Amino acid sequence: QVQLVESGGGLVQPGGSLRLSCATSGSIFSFKAMGWYRQAPGKQRELVAGITSDGRTNYADSVKGRFTISRDNAKSTVSLQMNSLKPEDTAVYYCNAVPPWNVWGQGTQVTVSS
């Protein structure tokens, strides 16, 4: 059973930065594309950043140029550096495979507010 543990969220002012981390279990991590998803209140969960097993990245238009996804296959971790944060980035952030496994972590809350 895969386990996903997200951390690093918090309250930040507009224009600020946060770095999210995700620790995973399971031996197949290095073979899977991974991503960061987010879900804002009243909205569907959306994929905001993805990274293939060999490090190619892609981003939702809403975060392109501000967010950077990275991974460490040796440690089975994936990170999301978020810069120039906006109030509309407020959401619970989750990591998962792309496409996602049928198990989710608890997520980490990101709140962007002055």
What are the pLDDT digits (tens) for 38-69? 999 999 999 999 999 999 999 999 999 999 99
Task: Please count the CA atoms within 13 angstroms of the CA of 98 that sit on its side-chain side.
Answer: 19
Say if residues 47 and 34 touch (Cβ distance below 8 Å).
no
DSSP 88: G
Predicted pLDDT of residue 66: 98
The rounded distance, in Å, linking the Cα atoms of 90 and 32 is 27
What are the pLDDT digits (tens) for 67-95? 999 999 989 999 999 999 999 999 999 99
Token pair of 30, please? 């290095």
Average pLDDT, the chain: 95
DSSP 98: S
Reply yes or no: is the peptide bond before residue 41 cis, omega within 30 of 0.
no
Residue type, 34: M
Say if residues 3 and 104 touch (Cβ distance below 8 Å).
no
Token pair of 114, please? 């002055």
